[in-house]
Structure 1
Amino acid sequence: MKAEQIALVQKTFAKVQPVSDKAAEMFYQHLFELNPSFKSLFKKDMKKQGRMLMQMIEFAVKGLDDPETILPAIQDLGKRHVGYGVKEEDYATVGEALLWTLEQGLGSGFTQEVKEAWGEAYKLLAGVMINAAKGCK
């Protein structure tokens, strides 16, 4: 990722953080609309799940400046998702739900440049998770 893209992701995530509970709720609602079968993957309290999601996104976004520091945790997350039943093709749907949520939350601030920056960030992180998951098989 380019430094400008990293800065843009970090700047826009800072705008989402104050409404992180609502953003997580919107994300999961849209994710389940895109693929209702995903509901069966989540057996926990969804508010707690939403907080965990936002904490992990915050961790990843802050670490984009120095990806080596976050790689082990992102790889571990990918490995854990194998046990939850997540398949490689599921990552595209999650990415779509993430971008939709950001678009809803940022409104006119969700420019093409922001969309591309978040797309690159997600592609990078999902790629690490997918590769780690492949190592589990």
Structure 2
Amino acid sequence: MTPQDIALIRSNFAQLHRRKIETACLFYERLFTTAPSTRALFKTDIEAQAAKLIETLTVALAMLNDPAGLTALLTRLGERHRGYGVRPSHYDAVRSALLWTLETSLGQEFTAQARAAWSELYDQMASTMLAAGVASQRSA
């Protein structure tokens, strides 16, 4: 990712952060509509889960200039998600719901460049998490 991509992602996220719980709830609503099987993975109140999502994204985006730290964070997340029952196919549903939420929430601010940057970031994050989930399954 280029420094410009990182700056664009952080700028987009700052705009969303003002409506963070609303935006995260919109994400989960979209995810559960397009991939209903994912609803069973969440045992807590969705607003509480929304707060966790925003907190995790805040930390991850702060670590974009620290690849080793970000990889460590994503590895732990991938291992935990595997334990929660998250399957590889869920990552595609999350990607789609995330991009839809960004487009819906940001409107014209979600440019083609922003979509490409977020897509690249998500794909990198998901790849790391998936690899960690597979590795944790093998060692179990």
TM-score interval for Structure 1 and Structure 2 normalised by the shorter chain: over 0.9
Report which stretch shifted further, 124-133 or 65-74.
Answer: 65-74
Q: Please name the residue that 2:31 is paired with.
A: 31
Match of 2:62 in 1: 62
Structure 1 residue 7: Cα displacement: 1.1
Aligned twin of 1:44: 44
1:83 positional shift: 1.0
Q: Secondary structure at the match of 1:28?
A: helix
User: Which residue is equivalent to 2:9?
Assistant: 9
2:97 alignment partner in structure 1 = 97
Residues 64-114 of structure 1 deviation map (CA, whole Å, 9 limit, x = unaligned): 122212221211000001111111121011011011111111011011000
> Structure 1 stretches (4+) deviating beyond 4 angstroms?
none
Q: Distance in 2 between matches of 1:132 and 1:110?
A: 30
* Unmatched 5+ stretches in structure 2: none
Letter of the 2:119 partner, please give it.
G
Structure 1 gap ranges (5+): none
Q: Percent identity?
A: 37
- Whichever residue aligns with residue 45 of structure 1, its letter is D
64-73 or 8-17, which deviates more: 64-73
What is the number of residues matched between the two proteins?
A: 137
Aligned to 1:120: 120
- Residue 110 of structure 1 aligns with an amino acid whose one-letter code is F
**RMSD (Å), alpha carbons:** 0.8
TM-score normalised over the length of structure 1: 0.97
The residue that corresponds to 2:87 in the other structure is 87
For residues 50 and 60 of structure 1, the distance between their equivalents in structure 2, rounded to whole angstroms, comes to 15
Alignment-derived partner of residue 131 in structure 1: 131
- 3-state SS, counterpart of residue 14 of structure 1: helix
Equivalent position SS for 1:43: coil
Q: Give the TM-score normalised by the residue count of structure 2.
A: 0.95
